[in-house]
Structure 1
Amino acid sequence: MRFSPTQKGASRTLLQPLRTTLANSRLSPRAFSKSEPRRSIMNMHSAPAKPRGIVAVRADASGDMKNILTNLQKDWQAYKDTQAEKDKEVENRFDDVVTTEKFDRIDASVSDLQAAVDQANAKLAAFEMNGGAEGERDPEYSESFRAHMRKGDVQAALNKGADDEGGYLAPTEWDRTIIDRLSEVSPMRQIADVQKVGKSGFTVLINQGGTGSGWVGETDARPETTTPTLVAFTLGNGEIYANPGATQQMLDDSEIDLESWLAGEVDTEFAEQEGAAFVAGNGTNKPAGFLSFATGGVNANRNPLGAVEVLPAAGAAVVTEDELLDMIYDIPSSYSAGARFIMNRKSMGKVRKLRDGDGRQLWQPSSQAGQPSQLLAHPLTEMPDMPDMTSGALSIGFGNFKRGYRIMDRWGVRILRDPFTAKPKVLFYTTKRVGGAVIDPRGLRVLRHA
C-alpha cells in the first residue's frame, strides 16, 4: 500500500487524503450516495472535486486501510452475533425492535466499510494499470492546450490537434487522467477487458470450431480434415458527451486548476452513463450491455456463439444458496478461475444474510487490502446498475467478465471550447467514443427471478 516519493507526487490527482470520518465504526452514507447534487460552478475555487461514490485514500494510507479493515471485521462479527439473536427471536415468535434497529445499523456499517475498501482498491488498481508515475509526454502541446482552454488563444503548437470542427484532442496526460478516473468509478471497467481502438468499429473473429481429426496407422493415408469456421463479429461504439461551463472572468481571474476541475466534471457524467450502458445498454448509439445478450434480450441473437444463458430463481425477490451454486457450476471449468458475482447493493444486503447448513455466512468481507469481498469463495463486485431482486428481474450475474465482455475506447478525448452559445459562460463540449459488447457468452450466466 506504500509508494515511492516519486509515485506519491504523480498520484496526487488520483489519491486524495482520506477525509471520511469513521464514527462508531461507520462511514457516512453520504460518501456513497449517487444522488449528490451536481457541483456548482461557483465552487471551483476549492480543491478538485472527487467523483461521486468515491472515498479518497492517500498513497500512504496503509494505516487508514488497516483501521477500516479492523472495523470491518469487528462489525462483521457483531453482524453475525446480532443475526443469531434475531434467529432466536423468530423461533420464539418475538420481534424486538431494539435488536432489529441494531441489526440494520450494523448491516449499513458493514456495507459502508466494505465499499470504502473496494473503492480504495479500485483507485490503486487504476493508478497501477495506467502508467503510474509517467511524466508529460508532450509538454509543449499540453501547455498550449491549457492556454487555449483559459483564454481561447490558438497557438501554432496546438494546430496538430485541430480538426475541421474546431475541436482539439486533449493531451495524452489529460486523456489518461480521464481513463484513470473512469476506471475508479465504473465497476465494469475494473472487471472487463478494455481495449483502445483507432477506428469507428472493431471486428472480432470468432472460432466456431469444426476442426476434424482421426486415428491412423503408421503407413495409412492421411486425407485432409475439415477446417474450423471463423465468423466475424463487428462491435460498434457510441459517443458520450459532457458540456460543463464557466464564466470567462472566472477563467481569467481564478487560480483554479482548470484541467482538474474539467476532468472532475467529465468523469462524473461519463461514468454514470457508461455504467448503465455496460450493464443494460441496447447498443443503439451506446454500448450493448451484457444483460441485453441474455436469452430473450434485444441482442440475444447477435453473437455467433449464442446468448448468455439465464438460470431460474424460484423466488420473486429472494435467492437461495443452491441457486447461486447452480450459477457457479453451470459455466465451463476453463472460465471459473477468473469468475465473479455481480449485483447491486440491495441484493448484496439480502445475500449477506444467507447461511449454509452449518450456520456459516455465504458472504465474507475483505480481510486485507486489495482483496474483494467473497461469496461462496468467489469475488463479489457491487454493480449499482444491476436490477433489484424483483419479479422477472435479472438481478445477479456470474462469470468471467474479463473474457466475456469487452469495452472499446476510441483513443482520444475531444474538447470544443464554446464561448458563444451560453454567454457569459464558456462551455467545454467534451466527447468520447466508447463501445462494449459480449464477445464470449459461454462463460457468463445471469439469474432471473420468477
Structure 2
Amino acid sequence: MPTSVELRQQRAGVVESMRAITETAEAANRGLEAEERQAYDRHEGDFTSLTERINRQEAEEARSAQMAEPIQRGANRPDDGNRGGQEARSAERRSAFFQALRRGLPRMAPEQRALVENTAGEILVPEDLETEIYRALPGLTVVRAMASQRSLTSNRVRRRSLSEVSVGWGKLETGTALTDSMPSTPTEEFTYVEDLYGLAKVGEDELDDSDTNIEAFVRDSFGRAVGEAEDTAFTIGTGHASQQPIGFMTAGGGVATVAAAAAAAISVDDMKKLIYAVPAQYRRNGRFALSSTTELAISLLKDLNGQYVWQQSVQAGRPNTFLGYALENQEDIAAVAASARSVAFGDFNSGYRVYDRAGMTVKVLDQLYAEDGMVGWKIRMRVGGDVVRPDALRILAHPAS
C-alpha cells in the first residue's frame, strides 16, 4: 500500500500534466482541443481520487501512530520508559503539525487536530521545532546574540525604576546606618511582549515533499524572517504604543548619550569618550554596535604616527575590533550624520533583554492563493525587548549641523 507521501507525489505528477496541457493551449492562443479536454478531465478525476485516498491514508497513519505508542512505551526499558513515551508523543505532534500545514486544520482527523490546535484555532508549532528555530536566531541576528534572553508565559513583565544597590562597611549593632538606594517609592513600569507576524507562500508541489524537507524549510524560512524583523525592532523599535519592542538606540530606551565633536564626522576622541562614559564594570564586556558605513569611516582613522587604529579580524567568525573592543554591524543604526545616533557601546548582555513568549503559531490560508497554486502560512510569534539597565550602555549622538 502506498504511503501518503507517495500518493502526494503521484498527485503532483497529475497536476504537472494538467499544467502542461493548459500551457500548450495558451502558448498557441487557443482553447483545449477534444483530445486535450478528455485528457484534462481524466487528470482532474485522478486528482480528486488521489486527494480522497491521501486524506484516508493520512488519517489511517495517524491512528496507527496512536495505537503504536503504548507498544513503543512498553518496549522500552523500565529506566527510560518515560523518555520513550515523550519521544513518541513528540514525533506524533510533529507529524500532525506537518499534516496541518499541508491540509489545514478543518481537513484533519479530530484526534490529530487536537494535538496541534490552540484555543484560537491556530496551529501550534511543536515545542522542539520552536526551540530549534529560536536556537538558530542568534546566528542570523546581531542584537539577540549580544543581549540576555528570558522566556515568559505572560504578555508583559513588571519592572520598577530603581537605582543600583548601595552598600557600606560597618556593623548594624554599633550604629552604622544602611544607605537607602531607593529613597522614594519607585514607579511601576511594564515591558510588553508584542506580536510579530509573517507570511510565507508555499507551492503545492513543495507540500508534496517529505516531512524532513518541509521541516528544513520551516526552520530556515521562519528563522530568517523573524530574525530580520526582530533585529530591527530591538535596535530602533519605538515601543508598545507602536506595538513594537523598545530599541536600545531610541530615546525610549533611556540610554544616556555622549556628544560627538562634529555633526558629520567621527573621530578617535569621540570613540574614546564613548567607551569611558560607560562604568568600568560594564566596559569589561563592552562592544560597539554600528552600521557598516560607520565602521568604514572609523576604519580610516589613524593615530598620530599614521597607523590605522581599526583592527581587522584575522580569525573566521570573529568581528573586527577598535580600541580593543569588538565591532558588531547592525544596519538599522544610522550612519554618521547631523543629529544622528551613530554608535552604541557597552555591555549589551547586561543592558538589553529579549523576552520570548512560548507558543509560535501558524494559520493555513489554503483558499486565498489557490488560483496561483500556492498555500499561505501566516506565522505569529510573540517577542519583546527592552533596555533593562541603561547605565550599561552609551550612545554617540552627533550635533545638528
Q: Is 1:234 matched up with 2:190?
A: yes
For 2:94, the equivalent position in structure 1 comes to: 142
Instruction: Name the SS for the 1:177 alignment partner.
Output: helix
Asked if the contact 1:413/1:431 (under 8 Å) is kept, the reply is yes
Paired amino acid for 2:192: G
The equivalent position to 2:150 in structure 1, one of 153, 176, 195, is: 195
Q: Deviations over 1:254-312 (max 9, x none)?
A: 898122223333233222221221111101211110112xxxx2x26xxxxxx311111
**Shift of the alpha carbon at 1:394?**
0.3
1:118-174 alpha-carbon deviations (Å, 9 max, x no partner): xxxxxxxxxxxxxxxxx9981111122122222335342441432232212111232
What code does the residue aligned with 1:145 have? F
- Partners of 2:331 and 2:151 lie apart in 1 by 25
Would you say the 8 A contact 1:151–1:252 is kept in 2? no
Q: Distance in 1 between matches of 2:322 and 2:103?
A: 53
Separation in 1, partners of 2:319, 2:236: 24
Q: Distance in 2 between matches of 1:212 and 1:279?
A: 34
Aligned length: 305
| CA pair 400-137 structure 1, distance change in 2 beyond 3 A | farther
Counterparts of 1:7-46 in structure 2 under 5 Å? none
User: Is 1:448 the equivalent of 2:392?
Assistant: no
- Measure the CA separation in 2 of the matches of 1:442 and 1:420: 51
Match of 2:228 in 1: 272
Find the counterpart in structure 2 of residue 282 from structure 1. Answer: 238
Go from structure 1 to structure 2 and tell me whether the alpha carbon gap of 1:208 and 1:158 turns closer, same or farther (over 3 Å shift).
Answer: same
Task: Tell me which of 244, 256, 274 is aligned to 1:327.
Answer: 274
* Partner secondary structure for residue 335 of structure 2: coil
Give the superposition deviation at 1:184.
1.6
Map of 2:133 onto structure 1 = 178
2: CA distance between counterparts of 1:137 and 1:388? 51
Q: Deviation at 1:176?
A: 2.2
Q: Which one of the candidate residues 209, 213, 216 is aligned to 1:260? A: 216
- Shift of residue 246, structure 1, vs aligned partner: 2.4
Counterpart in the other structure of 1:414: 361
The equivalent residue for 2:12 is none
Name the % identity: 25
TM-score normalised by L of structure 1: 0.62
Contact 2:260/2:397 (<8 A) preserved: yes
Name whichever structure is richer in helix by fraction. Answer: 2
The farther-off stretch of 136-145 and 392-401 is: 136-145
Provide the TM-score with structure 2 as the length reference: 0.69
Letter in 2 for 1:193: S
Letter in 1 for 2:127: T
Moved more, 276-285 or 169-178: 169-178
Name the aligned partner's letter for residue 144 of structure 1.
A
Structure 2 match to 1:355: 302
Q: 1:387 to 1:209 in 2, by over 3 A?
A: closer
Match of 1:345 among 292, 301, 308: 292
Structure 1's 358 and 198: CA in aligned 2 closer, same or farther, altered over 3 A?
Answer: same
Equivalent residue number for residue 391 of structure 1: 338
Q: Does the CA contact (< 8 Å) of 2:142 and 2:328 recur in 1?
A: yes
